[in-house]
Amino acid sequence: MNPAWSVIVFTTVAGAAQGLVVVVALGRLLGLRMSAAFAGGALWLAFTMLLVGLGASFLHLGRPERAWRAVTMWRTSWLSREVIVLPAFAAVVGLWAASGGASVLLALAALLLALGLWWCTAMIYACLRFIQEWAHPLTIVNYTLIGLASGAVLATALAALLGDGFVQRAVAPWALTVTAAAAAGRWLALQRNAGLKLRSTVQSATGIRNPRVAQAAMGMTGGAFNTREFFHGRTLAVLRSVKLGFVLAAFALPSALLLWGLASGSGAAFVLAALVQAPGLLAERWFFFAQARHPQNLYYQVVS
């Protein structure tokens, strides 16, 4: 697939906001002594990030003025369900932030909606059975774990910046745990995709039974939607570097920085971890889309 920046920005920014809200919600439900500055700051930051995500998602639409129509098909469409859950989640987070972040009921609602939003977002991809890289429960696991990890790392950085040492110390082990879990989940998905045998072949796509079938012409000279939307057009070397880049920036380096922060109590380590992780998350999501091989590409192997 050709990764769309609107979707990359939306899913990473909203995912981190969800993870951040989960930290505050769990903190509230478990009775963690959060400073008002941290709880309020985290919720307002998450709310702002959700608005940014919502804005980015609009940029993906050809006809954004009709976006309201997308709430109608929730019975069958995961995209429609996401379109309902995202504003509902943002509204609850906004309300919770505006009311001072004390309500346990809103904490519970925000927690459930955050989990629901990950489920919807991931299912948009996981339900497409013929995009085999995505059609697996690991897609849901990884959207959730990467969101949890990025939100937790962001929470430690925010606590460090706001001088809430207690939250910084309390959340850091959680951040390290979910980052390690996210790394493991993503590694499993990479392993699975590396050994994936694609079910569609040029033979099944055309019905020509000869074992050797080569495309001589794809029916147009200058490309079409089919050649722009479904091909990333990058070399294997670029793909490999992006993969290495996100393994380091999204998982390995933040984990090392979190360990350093835990050991030394240095706030700078947590801030640095969040800064390093941000581009890593974008690279991870870019790779998620780029690695998916759409069966329609079997019909577009030769330009002529």
Residues that bind another protein (CB under 8 A): 1, 60-64, 66-67, 69-73, 76-80, 83, 124, 127-131, 199-200, 202, 204-210, 212-226, 229-230, 294-297, 299-300
Rounded to a whole number of angstroms, the minimum distance from the CB of residue 53 to another protein is: 15
Nearer CB in complex with another protein: 1/178: 1
Nearer CB in complex with another protein: 35/226: 226
Tokens of residue 194, six digits: 């590396």
Q: What angle do CA 81, 87, 90 make, to 5 degrees?
A: 130
Rounded to a whole number of angstroms, the minimum distance from the CB of residue 86 to another protein is: 12
Taken in order 146, 152, 154, 157, the sign of the CA dihedral is negative
Nearer CB in complex with another protein: 137/222: 222
Nearer CB in complex with another protein: 127/259: 127
Rounded to a whole number of angstroms, the minimum distance from the CB of residue 126 to another protein is: 12
Residues 250, 242: Cα–Cα separation, whole Å: 11
Rounded to a whole number of angstroms, the minimum distance from the CB of residue 290 to another protein is: 14
Rounded to a whole number of angstroms, the minimum distance from the CB of residue 61 to another protein is: 5
Which helix (DSSP H) or strand (DSSP E) does residue 114 occupy?
A: helix 104-126
Tokens of residue 263, six digits: 């050991």
Nearer CB in complex with another protein: 72/99: 72
Nearer CB in complex with another protein: 72/191: 72
C-beta pairs of 194-200 under 8 Å, 24+ apart in sequence: 196/132, 196/133, 198/132, 198/293, 198/295, 199/130, 199/132, 200/130, 200/295, 200/298
Residues 45, 51: Cα–Cα separation, whole Å: 10
Residues 272, 261: Cα–Cα separation, whole Å: 10
Residues 205, 299: contact at Cβ < 8 Å?
yes
Residues 68, 49: Cα–Cα separation, whole Å: 21
Nearer CB in complex with another protein: 31/62: 62
Rounded to a whole number of angstroms, the minimum distance from the CB of residue 5 to another protein is: 14
Rounded to a whole number of angstroms, the minimum distance from the CB of residue 89 to another protein is: 17
- Which of these, 234, 201, 219, lies nearest to 300 by C-alpha position? 219
Q: If you search the block for the tokens 């697939």, which residue do you land on?
A: 1
